[in-house]
Amino acid sequence: MQSQKIDQIKAEIAAANAKSAEELEAYRMRFISKKSVVAALFADMKSIPNEQKKEYGQQVNEVKQLAEEKFKQLIEAVNTSRQQKTGPLPDLTLPPTTWPIGGIHPLTATRQRIVEIFERIGFNLSEGPEIEDDWHNFTALNFPENHPAREMQDTFFIEKNPDIALRTHTSSVQVRVMENEKPPIRTLSPGRVFRNEAISARAHCIFHQVEGLYVDENVSFANLKQTLYHFAKEMFGKQTQVRFRPSFFPFTEPSAEIDISCQLCGGKGCNICKGTGWVEIGGSGMVDPNVLENCGIDSEKYTGFAFGMGIERIAMLKYQINDLRLFTENDIRFLQQFRGLL
């Protein structure tokens, strides 16, 4: 009986064929694995009489060798079939293909640089919601209801709730910080803002701002000037000149626009600076006492300064970019120029 069983298994091995990985696995399970028919022949050794065990063992070993040799042949046949269908396998000894490495977006690089400069002089980061209520976006910042100052910024209001809008500046984050923290406060608020403006080379309906706030006892305009002098020289170089021009913002008094010497012409005058040698980078001023009181801070004891600037504007000046739309068009030719910024 055992001889007939062995002959039958030999015949099965000889007739076996495989054209795919699945058929190879089926062959392995049938003849090679620990639960195969060949393994069962070895398990039957204990029932064979002692005088026949030697001969039986030789026959089973022969079956095992036949099964393993056949398995190797089937593997080669399947690999050959694959190569004929897909072409020759690549040379695995060759070095790997080096794919181009991505780069930091210029706005991200500019934001990180601004944050780094102010963090080194004690400013902490703060963030807030992009969908704001009227109180945090306008009223707390000294924008009275129906006041013409509200028309300075074209706002995206939520149609079903006119008291909810997309924030027009990150000053709303400063209000939230002053409501929840006690002075001294030194915070920086970068983020995305929204204004209902036509998209052009100089304007966009979605852009990024970074605003700073410092509230403590005896904070003066001199502290504001020195902070912004430090920022301008760290951001644009030690040769950069800074000037302040009187201006108006509802939430600061006195208020001033911040100008730096043109980075393109070195202050000599060009089409970028309109021949003046100066370009505006943002606004600033001493926090209006009404804003402090609205946020629960004693304006008799504390004073503060605030400033804000557009990240796109800073990036355009630093990298001499003349079209704001390039930042959002995702043109790989434009973005590749900034690879390795950080």
Return per-residue pLDDT of the chain as tens, 342 residues. Answer: 667 787 788 888 888 888 888 888 888 888 888 888 888 878 877 888 888 878 877 888 888 888 888 888 888 888 877 766 666 667 778 887 777 777 789 999 999 999 999 999 999 999 999 999 989 998 999 887 776 656 666 788 887 777 888 999 999 999 999 999 999 999 999 999 998 888 887 788 899 999 999 999 999 999 999 999 999 999 999 989 999 999 999 999 999 999 998 877 777 777 677 788 898 999 999 999 999 999 999 999 999 999 999 999 899 888 888 888 999 888 888 888 887 665
What span, in angstroms and rounded, lies between the C-alpha atoms of 209 and 306?
A: 13
Q: Which residue do the tokens 């706030």 mark?
A: 213
Query: Phi and psi (nearest 5°) for 205?
Result: -80, -15
Pairing mode of beta strands 157-158, 124-125: unpaired
| The two structure tokens encoding residue 112 | 């990180």
What span, in angstroms and rounded, lies between the C-alpha atoms of 127 and 209?
A: 12
3-state DSSP assignment of residue 129: coil
CATH (residue range 106-338): 3.30.930.10
Can you list the positions of beta strands (E) in 55-130?
124-125
| The two structure tokens encoding residue 175 | 């209000």
| The two structure tokens encoding residue 218 | 């005896």
Which residues pair with residue 187 across a beta bridge?
124, 213
Which residues pair with residue 125 across a beta bridge?
188
Give the H or E element holding residue 222.
helix 221-236
CA angle 250, 213, 105 (to 5 degrees): 105
Q: Under 8 Å CB-to-CB from 106, ≥6 apart: which residues? A: 315, 319, 321, 327, 335, 338, 341
Q: Please tell me the pTM assigned to this model.
A: 0.68
